Amino acid sequence: MTPGGLGFLIRCLGNAGLVEEASFVFDRAREMGLCVPNVYTYNCLLEAVSKSSLSSVELVEEKLEEMRRCGFDFDKYTLTPVLKVYCNAGEFERALSVFNEIISRGWLDEHISTVLVVSFCKWGKVDKAFELVEMLEERGIRLNYKTCCVLIHGFVKESRVDKGVELFEKMRGMGMEADIALYDVLIGELCKVKDLERALSLYLEMKKSGVRPDRGVLGKLIRSFSEESELSRITKVIVGDIDTKTVMLLYKTLLEGFIRNGLVNDAYSFVQSLMGNHESEIVQLLKDHNKAILPDSDTLSSVIDCLVKANKIDMAMSLSHVIVQNGLTPSLMMYNNIIEGLCKEGRSEESLKLLGEMKEPSQFTLNCIYGCLAERCDVEEAVELLKKMRFYGFEPWIKHSTLLVKKLCENGRAVDACKYLDDVAGEGFFNHMVAYTAAIDGLVKNEGVDRGLELFRDICASGHSPDVIAYNVMIKALCKGSRTTEADDLFNEMVSKGLRPSVATYNSMIDGWCKEGEIDRAMSCIARMYEDEKDPDVITYTSLIHGLCVSGRPSEAISRWNDMKSRDCSPNVITFMALVQGLCKCSWSSEALVYFREMEEKEMEPDSAVYLSLISSFLSSGNISAGFEIFREMVCKGRFPILVDRNYLLAVDATDKFVEDYRTSCYLTGLVKDGRLPIVAAVSRK
Q: pLDDT per residue over 194-222, tens digit each?
A: 888 888 888 888 888 888 888 888 888 77
Q: pLDDT per residue over 621-656, tens digit each?
A: 889 999 999 998 998 888 888 888 888 888 888 888
pLDDT of 168 reads 84
Residue 306 lies in a domain: no
Range(s) of the domain holding residue 685: 616-686
pLDDT of 59 reads 81
pLDDT of 681 reads 40
Q: pLDDT per residue over 291-301, tens digit each?
A: 777 777 777 88
Residue 518 lies in a domain: no
pLDDT of 21 reads 83
Residue 647 lies in a domain: yes
User: pLDDT band at 249, cuts 50/70/90?
Assistant: confident
Given a cut of 50, is residue 58 above it in pLDDT? yes
pLDDT of 627 reads 92
Q: pLDDT per residue over 597-629, tens digit each?
A: 999 999 898 999 999 999 999 999 889 999 999
C-alpha distance across the termini of the chain, in Å: 140
Residue 152 lies in a domain: no
Most confident of 5-9, 136-140, 249-253: 5-9
pLDDT of 685 reads 43
Tell me the average pLDDT across 316-339: 84
pLDDT of 679 reads 60
> Residues 341-348: contacts with CB within 8 Å, 24+ apart?
341/307, 341/308, 341/311, 341/313, 341/316, 342/313, 342/317, 342/372, 343/368, 343/369, 343/371, 343/372, 345/313, 346/372, 346/375, 346/376, 347/313, 347/372, 348/372, 348/373, 348/376, 348/378, 348/381
Looking at 100-104, 354-358, 604-608, which range is the least confident one? 100-104
Distance between CA atoms of 122 and 157, rounded to whole angstroms? Answer: 10
Given a cut of 60, is residue 686 above it in pLDDT? no
Are 326 and 293 in contact, with CB atoms under 8 Å apart? no
Residue 675 lies in a domain: yes
Report the predicted TM-score, pTM, of the whole model to 2 decimal places: 0.62
Residue 630 lies in a domain: yes
Are 89 and 120 in contact, with CB atoms under 8 Å apart? no
Instruction: Please enumerate in sequence order all residues whose Cβ is within 8 A of that of 622, keeping only pairs 6 or more positions apart, or say none.
Output: none
- What stretches of 553-588 show up as alpha helix (H) in DSSP? 554-566, 573-585
Distance between CA atoms of 22 and 42, rounded to whole angstroms? Answer: 11
Mean pLDDT of the residues in the chain: 86
The percentage of residues in the chain with a pLDDT greater than 90, rounded to a whole number, is 34
467 three-state secondary structure: coil
Tell me the average pLDDT across 302-314: 85
Q: pLDDT per residue over 531-572, tens digit each?
A: 999 999 999 999 999 999 999 999 999 999 999 999 999 999
- Number of domains observed in the structure of the chain: 1
pLDDT of 277 reads 59
Tell me the average pLDDT across 262-270: 80
User: pLDDT band at 54, cuts 50/70/90?
Assistant: low
Residue 637 lies in a domain: yes
- What stretches of 158-243 show up as alpha helix (H) in DSSP? 161-173, 180-192, 196-208, 215-223, 228-238
pLDDT of 278 reads 60
Residue 665 lies in a domain: yes
To the nearest 10 degrees (0 to 180), the angle between helices 503-515 and 484-496 is 150
At residue 518, what are phi and psi to the nearest 5 degrees? -90, 65
pLDDT of 673 reads 66
More confident residue, 360 or 668: 360
- What stretches of 448-502 show up as alpha helix (H) in DSSP? 449-461, 468-480, 484-496
